[in-house]
Structure 1
Amino acid sequence: MSSTASVAKNLISKVKLNDGVEMPLFGLGVYLIKDNCEHLIHAALDKGYRLLDTAELYHNEAGVGDGLKKSGLAREDVFIVSKWFPSNEGAEGAKKALSTCLKNLKSDYVDLYLLHAPQGGKCAEAYRALLDCKKNKQIRSLGVSNFGVHHLEAMEKLGLEAPSVNQIELHPWQQKTDIVDYCRKKGIAVMGYSPLAKGNKVKDETVRKIAQKLNKTPGQVLIRWSVQHGFITIPKTSNESRLEENADVFNWTIPDEDMNILVMNT
């Protein structure tokens, strides 16, 4: 783990991004959550979550906005991330998607806006347009998602402002040390999605044994692995009862020998 990585100590721990914006290190991902999104967001905020991760692709930006409104919290007290897949519409597509995002969130701004992937065409044009939106305060911080080292190097060669965050899939089976190390060297915060490996590894025997040893659930072990590496971590759940369990990962650690076992378990 990089010595510069910030490890979350609680639900409201933050990291300062390369543009000076402070972002919570732990939150809720809402991929594929539609029917009960508003209720789930309200419940998460009630339990102390302050980071919410949505996307145009998830079709629930409005649910996130409604849940925040229902919570009664001030807009500035909650950090919202959303994402958009670049398209051949370039700058116009980016501005259109952002406008729809803000309308759905019922907000004048989004805290962090990400290019969802380096695909769809005209990424650089879209990124430049979103930088203008950042100057206009519609976006507080601008980042990317699913970008590899060569994509970030290409951005640098084009003279584009470095993204504040790169959101990538991270867990013991996808550790991606090359891109993680590159981002940290360049001051780009690493945000890991799918810390539970999309639920496919919670029955893994190695994880199960470590969980048993620590008197934790396998899910908590996997989430703690991400937290302990200093990644911005956003476990997804559609189950309100799991919100507290997923967030019970701060007052204990996975011993080094077990972290090493999880490194080997790839």
Structure 2
Amino acid sequence: MNITLNNGVEMPALGFGVFQTPPEQTVASVAEALTVGYRLIDTAAAYGNEHEVGEAIRRSDLDRDEVFIETKLWISDYGYDEALHAFDKSAGKLGVDQIDLLLLHQPLPTAFEMTIGAYKALETLLADGRVRAIGVSNMMPDVLARLLEQTGVVPSVNQVECHPYFSQPNVQQTDSEHGILTQAWSPIGGITSYYGGEGAKTTFDEPVITGIADEHGKTPAQVMLRWHMQEGRSAIPKSVKPTRIAENFDVFDFELTADQLAHIDALDTGVRRGPDPAGLTLESHSLDIPEARRGDTPRE
């Protein structure tokens, strides 16, 4: 199942994420995902595993154009020249000449001129054919409006926290109005387990979701991913367990009813579980993103 982005590029709706996947586990997990059938792999410079993602793709029997590679630049590499160099670092680690989708990882509103510079670098990379599509991540409507006022290319994607307990309908609405695809990170609410607090209810234990899962003979995770698919979002679940990797991909043989979709929509609490994008600053979240390793070469 593919989604056509606002610049005509086709992207798989369901992808495989590697957030918090240790480098030593990344090659095996991405290889398993590719074997199962995933064709969109999402990583980021800040994850520290771009090299391993590229290695798994190189080891596969798939041609380069069969795998849609998505990565993100970190705030430490914002600014026009800095972002151009950050592309070189990411492309080198991934072992590719062209990245399919390149995002700015955070909006960095406290140094927004650097964000604008970085996005203009993405526009240059797009015009030069070094990326096929560009976008943003964790960008709220007010900050998106500022970006659109100062740049020329509408982002193709806005990747944000989105799961049944925090679906950000205002963000989705704004994205839709501009032809931007909303892509969900933590799409099955794994973050509700990490940051929900002791005894907090998680999406996996939500009676509405477990009840719908029982009706379809599916798991709660599969129901949540199907919810994203049917409502037109992209989703990038992650796992290092082969059974879960396969389970999360097995979502194309059933359909939720309109009532079931509405019941899941109604679970939104408006409470963010991940970090507030407005609170990330260079002082608090700067990272040293290393150069590509010697010997990293583009794949033919």
Flag whether TM exceeds 0.5 (same fold): yes
Residue 110 of structure 1: CA displacement?
0.7
- 2:44 aligns to what? 55
1:118 and 2:110 aligned: no
Single out whichever of 246-255 and 203-212 deviates more from structure 2.
Answer: 203-212
- 1:175 aligns to what? 167
1:149 and 2:137 aligned: no
- Find the partner of 1:40 among 29, 53, 61: 29
Structure 2 residue matching 1:36: 3-state secondary structure:
helix
Q: Superposed, which structure 2 residues align to 1:62-77 within 5 Å?
A: 62-77=51-66
Structure 2 residue matching 1:174: 3-state secondary structure:
coil
Deviations 1:198-223 (A, max 9, x none): 16321222222221222111111111
Residue 98 of structure 1: CA displacement?
1.0
User: What is the CA–CA distance in structure 2 between the aligned matches of 1:138 and 1:32, rounded to whole Å?
Assistant: 27
Residue 131 of structure 1: CA displacement?
1.2
User: What is the CA–CA distance in structure 1 between the aligned matches of 2:11 and 2:52, rounded to whole Å?
Assistant: 21
**Structure 1: unaligned runs, 5 residues or longer:** 1-12
- 2:18 aligns to what? 30
CA separation of 1:18 and 1:89: change in aligned 2, threshold 3 A: closer
- 2:4 aligns to what? 16
1:218 and 2:220 aligned: yes
Deviations 1:76-133 (A, max 9, x none): 1100000012337511221221111011111001100000010173100111112112
Structure 2 residue matching 1:114: 3-state secondary structure:
strand
**Structure 2: unaligned runs, 5 residues or longer:** 194-202, 269-300
1:203 and 2:205 aligned: yes
Deviations 1:27-86 (A, max 9, x none): 101111122211111111112110000001111101110000111211111000000123
Deviations 1:171-221 (A, max 9, x none): 111121111111112111111111111163212222222212221111111
- 1:265 aligns to what? 267
What residue identity is the alignment partner of 2:140?
A: G
User: What is the CA–CA distance in structure 2 between the aligned matches of 1:148 and 1:206, rounded to whole Å?
Assistant: 28
Scaled by the length of structure 2, the TM-score of the pair is 0.81
1:162 and 2:154 aligned: yes
Residue 255 of structure 1: CA displacement?
2.1
User: What is the CA–CA distance in structure 1 between the aligned matches of 2:7 and 2:29, rounded to whole Å?
Assistant: 31
- After TM superposition, the runs of 4+ consecutive aligned structure 1 residues lying more than 4 A away are none
Identical-pair percentage: 33
Q: Superposed, which structure 2 residues align to 1:178-193 within 5 Å?
A: 178-193=170-185
Native 8 Å contact 2:73 2:105 kept in 1: yes
1:101 and 2:90 aligned: yes
CA separation of 1:18 and 1:260: change in aligned 2, threshold 3 A: closer
Native 8 Å contact 1:86 1:94 kept in 2: no
Structure 2 residue matching 1:26: 3-state secondary structure:
coil
User: What is the CA–CA distance in structure 2 between the aligned matches of 1:28 and 1:89, rounded to whole Å?
Assistant: 26
Structure 1 residue matching 2:237: 3-state secondary structure:
coil
Native 8 Å contact 2:101 2:133 kept in 1: yes
Native 8 Å contact 2:160 2:185 kept in 1: yes
Scaled by the length of structure 1, the TM-score of the pair is 0.91
Structure 2 residue matching 1:155: 3-state secondary structure:
helix
Structure 2 residue matching 1:195: 3-state secondary structure:
coil
Native 8 Å contact 2:185 2:236 kept in 1: yes
